[in-house]
Amino acid sequence: MSKQLIDLIDRLFDKTVSQAEKGQYKKALETIEKAEKLSEKANRPELLCQTLMFKGKALLALNRQEEALVEFQGMMELAIPLFLDDPEDTDSQYFVYNSTGFTVKTLEEIEDISKTQEFLSRNEKYFGKTFDAFEKLIAKEPDNFEYIVNYLKTLENVRGYYMRAQQFEKQVPVMGRIVKYYGKIFEIRSKKEELFDKLDKLIGEFKTYCFVFWKPEEAKEIFSQAEEVYRKVLEKEPVNRLAFRGLISLYEEFGDLYSRVGDIEKTEETYLKAFEALDEKIRKQPGDISTLRKQSEILQTLSRFFSQKNETEKAGQYAEKALEILKELPGKKPEDLDYQSDISDDFTELGELFGEIGDIEHAKECRMQEIDIYRNIHEKDPENLVSVANIAATFDQIGHLHANRGEIEPAKQYYERGIETYEKLLESDPGNFEYEIGIANSLNYIGELYTSLEPETASHYFEKALAINEKAVKLYPESTDYMKELIYTLKNIVTLNIEQKQYESAIQAHERITELHLEMIRKNPGDSAYEKDLGNAHSEFGLLLERAEKPELAKQQYSKAAEAFRQILQNEEEESLAKDLLAMDLRMQITLLTHAKKHNLAKEYLDLVRDYYEKLYENDPENPKNWKNLSDIRLLEGILQESMKNYGIAIERYESIFPILTKHLGPDTEKLEYQAKVNIVYLQLGIVYFSANELEKSKEAFEKALSINAKLIEKDPESPVYVRDAIVTFEEYAKLLKKLDRNEEAEEYIAKAEKLNTNLE
């Protein structure tokens, strides 16, 4: 083969790159096709690998993914044998990891799981051989940085292949190799930040997999391996900040994982490892501020975790330790105002945590620390009025602490101190209306203290706040923020008037609320957040009118509420996720309204959501989400109709669910998902037939539910869902047996329900 031919191919490669950089992908494709013919003529596989890669990239840029995939597959089939014949050739290593990486990228763009799985099954045979070759090579030359980097790129691309093919469990051993070889690369280059960042990112992704698929044991294995990698670096270089940062991040990631899967012991153990590592660093570098702040953050995380587990005492202990650390910090850099501001934020978070766990005194201590810091900032920088505004807002927060404990006078005193602070700010900056809004907020807070105890006092404060809010909206008609502040005050007035049964005054205030919501929509057309707020305002107005015994006007408001929500659900430009979340929210409201016997509003919402789900199902009946939502809304409609005593309609709705389940879950009625859903339908049919006094049909439905319940619990006796369903079925069936004068049997089923309830607790 002549040197001239090789030179010509190289020039074509250079030309291809140049054209691609200019975005001339069609020309690049034409050029590389010439290079491809010459490479075939030259019979040089390495040149052909390069050609196929350039060709695939050009096709990918032209959105010709299927064709690109063929090229990358061809590249892989050439690259692997080349590499296995000569593993030391770094060009071959380059072709191996790029052929895998570009194949995965292309399949990701095609978005066809079955195709990804098909290509993976074709290529998986190469992985083991490739891994073995790399590992033998690295064993011979353990200090060869390039070999290890290329192997890691290959491993990461293979892991991505498994993830894209949704064969998640197969990534675990690959992840183990990745962590191992990052450990080896850190032995050679322990100061390259991008390598530590990449490992940290991969560990975060693996943690997410372990949480989603509930794999704490696999997490533990990788966690221990990664911990050893970081500690090995720190043994050799105790001050390596990258390894230390990675170690703390590792503890935080897996502490979070264990907390999510409910492993209390491992959660505490893992976070305390982080705390102890930080403590060791402080012993070596006393007074290190960032380390102390991180310690406080770890302790707050533990406190929050135990608070969520209702272990208040332990939560309090960790929060108090965090406070002791934070109290050391404000005096450390008094001249650094940015630092002081950051520390005040730390006290804010800790104060909120103390409030959540009910430790009001320590919460108040945190707030007073904030105020001291803000005063220090203002003393150093008298022009900084933000710090003074923060003092006013913090007085309000302390007021909230007392208000939540029912301590009216102390709460009022702190709210008044907030007002005084805002008034002093107005003296310094009289044109700043934000300070007047701050006063209005504090007035509202004082009024809320007296709503039930002294309605006239409450009204006095609300009216003062209202005057400020109305003035703000008049002066700044374009500000939706000021409109929201006005709505807040008006809602307080509505609540006060409802409690006093002064419905006409409440209606008048609510009319103003509705006007403001409409005005905000006019200023922000097509914004679903404002449309949703309008829908909620109409529904709240309807409930008020119903309470005021104005049912026809209430129905009008309910219809307007439904129409506002309909605008969102029918808006094709609105994101599907936003619409799905709205539909889910409305379903929750339907359930609550049905239990509260607010049937008119519940029915408006139900008709709306049912129409939305039916349209989605009509457009894409095979999408599992669509048929499941349709069956769920029909079940909910049956429950609503039953509550309205429309038993015939309820029965028809329940019966209409069976064909959907049979169609989409197939004729195999032994499927667990089919049984679980059918079980609920038979239970509801048993209840509605009982209510309709069709006792034989009720008995037949209950017995079918009982039979399915038994199968479900046999298959999964630990499932709280199946156990709760069985409890309800036993209780409802017992009611039927009593009505049939089969009291002894009824008592047996009541006893069964009580036993299951005890086991569940």
What does the domain layout of the chain look like in residue ranges? Answer: 169-279, 287-381, 668-760
Q: Is residue 19 very low, low, confident or very high in pLDDT (cuts 50, 70, 90)?
A: confident
φ, ψ of residue 165 in degrees (nearest 5): -85, 0
Residue 616 above 60 pLDDT?
Answer: yes
Alpha carbon distance 593, 560 (integer Å): 17
Residue-wise burial string across 547-574, b where 16 or more C-beta atoms lie within 10 A, e elsewhere? ebebeebbbebbebbbebbbbbbeeeeb
Alpha carbon distance 561, 539 (integer Å): 5
Mean pLDDT across 357-378: 94
DSSP class per residue in 240-267? -HHHHHHHHHHHHHHHHHHHHTT-HHHH
Mean pLDDT across 197-209: 95
pLDDT of residue 669: 56
pLDDT of residue 12: 84
Residue 760 above 70 pLDDT?
Answer: no
pLDDT of residue 668: 58
Residue with the two structure tokens 């959540």: 356
Q: Encode pLDDT of 90-144 as tens digits.
A: 999 999 999 999 999 999 999 888 899 999 999 999 999 999 999 999 999 999 9
Alpha carbon distance 458, 447 (integer Å): 4
Is the sign of the CA dihedral 301, 307, 311, 315 positive or negative? positive
DSSP class of residue 168 equals: G
pLDDT of residue 2: 66
Give the lowest-confidence range in 19-33, 84-98, 145-159, 298-312: 19-33
Share the mean pLDDT of the chain: 93
Catalogue the long-range contacts made by 39-44 (C-beta closer than 8 Å, 24 or more residues apart).
39/9, 41/5, 42/1, 42/5, 42/6, 42/9, 43/1, 44/1, 44/6
DSSP class of residue 329 equals: S
Residue-wise burial string across 470-490, b where 16 or more C-beta atoms lie within 10 A, e elsewhere? bebbeeeeeebebbebbbebb
Residue 44 above 90 pLDDT?
Answer: no
Q: Do residues 636 and 587 touch, judged by C-beta distance below 8 A? A: yes
Which amino acid appears at position 632 of this protein?
A: D
pLDDT of residue 68: 93
pLDDT of residue 173: 95
3-state SS string for 69-103? HHHHHHHHHHHHHHHHHCCCCHHHHHHHHHHHHHH
Is the sign of the CA dihedral 233, 239, 243, 249 positive or negative? positive
Q: Encode pLDDT of 475-521 as tens digits.
A: 999 999 999 999 999 999 999 999 999 999 999 999 999 999 999 99
Mean pLDDT across 319-340: 91
Of 155, 187, 190, residue with least CA distance to 171: 155
Mean pLDDT across 326-343: 89
Of 384, 352, 259, 365, residue with least CA distance to 309: 259
Torsion of CA 79, 85, 89, 94, to 10 degrees: 20
Output the CATH code of domain 287-381: 1.25.40
Element (H, E) at 352: helix 337-356
pLDDT of residue 607: 95
Residue 11 above 90 pLDDT?
Answer: no
Residue 397 above 80 pLDDT?
Answer: yes
Mean pLDDT across 192-205: 95
**Helix, strand or coil for residue 119?**
helix
Alpha carbon distance 575, 331 (integer Å): 49
Mean pLDDT across 602-614: 95
Residue 761 above 80 pLDDT?
Answer: no
The angle, 0 to 180 degrees and rounded to 10, between the axes of the packed helices 433-450 and 408-428 is 170
pLDDT of residue 40: 79
Of 189, 292, 201, residue with least CA distance to 237: 189
Burial label for 648, CB within 10 Å (0-12, 13-18, 19+), is: exposed
Alpha carbon distance 160, 153 (integer Å): 11
Alpha carbon distance 661, 454 (integer Å): 57
Mean pLDDT across 565-578: 91
Specify whether domain 668-760 bears CATH 3.30.1360. no
Which has more pLDDT, 645 or 675? 645
Q: Is residue 716 very low, low, confident or very high in pLDDT (cuts 50, 70, 90)?
A: confident
Phi-psi region of 358 (alpha: psi -120 to 50; beta: other; left: phi over 0): left
Q: Encode pLDDT of 50-92 as tens digits.
A: 999 999 999 999 999 999 999 999 999 999 999 999 999 999 9
Mean pLDDT across 383-411: 95
State what percent of residues in the chain have pLDDT above 90.
Answer: 81
Q: Encode pLDDT of 426-439 as tens digits.
A: 998 988 999 999 99
Give the lowest-confidence range in 327-336, 393-402, 632-641, 728-737: 327-336
